[in-house]
Amino acid sequence: MPKIIDVIRAKRKANVTAGFEGDHSGAQETGRLARLAAIGGIGSDGWKEYMKHFGDLTPDQLKRLNAEDDTKDSDAHNFRRAYLVANGVCGMSSPDTMFIGNKADTIDEDPPVDDVLSPAAADPKK
């Protein structure tokens, strides 16, 4: 079973690859769903639809992304969930959702590696 971040990276790769070939529909759909998630907030139908759109996730992984597991009150996990939504709404600096997995690398960990306040948190490769 792939990790959550691997599924997200696969979606990002598909969006970016298609975008380089002139097809931006995947990234546009990701952006549309991310906006619904941001507007509706965690727990909303829009949030759940956005998290589900990444693809081949297990029920437990979806619970993690939807904050329906024992990480619902975890600041570190909520930080990563917020980045998944915020980075899904791509702009000029992130065509085709290129940065969608940033800052969510450790969402699978329990507890996640707390790099939020570390100097590595500023590293654009994360």
Express each pLDDT in 30-50 by its tens digit: 999 999 999 999 999 999 999
Closest CA to 104 of 13, 1, 4: 4
Amino acid at the residue 95: P
The Cα 21–Cα 126 span in angstroms is 26
Q: Domain of 105?
A: 4-122
Amino acid at the residue 7: V
Express each pLDDT in 86-95 by its tens digit: 888 875 445 5
Number of domains in the chain: 1
Amino acid at the residue 78: N
**One pLDDT digit (tens) per residue for the chain, 126 residues:** 899 999 999 998 898 889 889 898 998 899 999 999 999 999 999 999 999 999 999 999 999 999 999 999 999 999 999 989 988 887 544 555 666 666 566 667 766 655 544 444 444 444
Angular region, 97: left φ>0, alpha ψ -120 to 50, beta rest: left
HSE at residue 20, side-chain half, CA atoms within 13 A, is 6
Q: What pLDDT shows up at residue 105?
A: 65
Say if residues 115 and 102 touch (Cβ distance below 8 Å): no
The Cα 24–Cα 37 span in angstroms is 20
